[in-house]
Amino acid sequence: MVGHRSLNGRDTILIRVKPTYRLPAPAGTRTGPLPPGPASWIWVDASTYLVVQTKHFVPHFQGGSRPSASGSTTWSSVVDHVTWLSPTPGNMALLTLTPPAGFTKIPYSELAQKYLGPIS
């Protein structure tokens, strides 16, 4: 967590997410995977904790669509702005689901034992 930030006049909390994926090694080389790309950024509303904006990075390979021995990798940012519907009774009703005919609720203990198997 980076901390509180003002985003377009709104009090948000900025979270930095380190990437965990690695790009494959460039073709024609004996090197290991390329280092991870830049971190992603997530802004959440400081009072509701709902996501307000995200910023992720996608690779662009110069000299082809995949990493190559002669090409290099650059990163482009993709920013998504998130708008939530206000919690009016009509909007909240959209979250109410009616289970289909034949739906059976299984207690968690039975679900874990019968369908999930041992949890370590």
Does residue 116 lie within any of the structural domains?
A: no
What H or E segment, with its residue span, contains residue 60? strand 51-61
Does residue 46 lie within any of the structural domains?
A: yes
Instruction: Give residue 34's pLDDT.
Output: 64
Per-residue pLDDT tens digits for 79-111: 999 999 998 999 999 988 888 999 988 888 887
Instruction: Give residue 29's pLDDT.
Output: 64
Does residue 103 lie within any of the structural domains?
A: no
Count of domains forming the chain: 1
- Whether the pLDDT of residue 8 is over 80: the answer is yes
- Answer for the pair 112, 119: CB distance below 8 angstroms, yes or no: yes
- Answer for the pair 110, 104: CB distance below 8 angstroms, yes or no: no
Per-residue pLDDT tens digits for 23-52: 666 666 666 666 677 889 999 999 999 999
- Answer for the pair 50, 85: CB distance below 8 angstroms, yes or no: no
Instruction: Give residue 75's pLDDT.
Output: 83
Domain range spanning residue 45?
Answer: 3-86
Give me the torsion for CA of 26, 32, 37, 39, rounded to 10°.
170
- Whether the pLDDT of residue 71 is over 60: the answer is no
Burial 50-85 (b: 16+ CB within 10 A, else e): ebbbbebbeeeeeeeeebbeebebeeeeeeeeeeee
Does residue 100 lie within any of the structural domains?
A: no
Work out the mean pLDDT of the chain and round it to a whole number: 82
How far is it, in rounded angstroms, from Cα 44 to Cα 15?
8
Does residue 12 lie within any of the structural domains?
A: yes
- Answer for the pair 64, 71: CB distance below 8 angstroms, yes or no: yes
Does residue 112 lie within any of the structural domains?
A: no
Q: Which residue has the higher pLDDT, 70 or 82?
A: 82
